[in-house]
Amino acid sequence: MDNMGYRFVYAPFFLYVKLLYEVASHF
């Protein structure tokens, strides 16, 4: 799998982690 493939697969995961991090920072 090339870099574009990895980015396409992992983008939702990183966005989810980013969301959790931002929510956690508010509490």
- pLDDT recorded at residue 18: 95
| pLDDT tens track for 1-27 | 567 777 788 888 999 999 999 999 987
* Element housing 25 (H / E): none
Residue 26, pLDDT score: 80
pLDDT value at residue 2: 66
What is d(CA 8, CA 20) in angstroms, rounded to the nearest whole number?
Answer: 20
Instruction: Please tell me the predicted confidence (pLDDT) of residue 21.
Output: 95
The three-state secondary structure class of 18 is helix
7: its two tokens: 């980015």
pTM above 0.95, yes or no: no
Domain ranges of the chain: 1-27
Burial 15-24 (b: 16+ CB within 10 A, else e): eeeeeeeeee
pLDDT of residue 1: 54
pLDDT at position 5 is 74
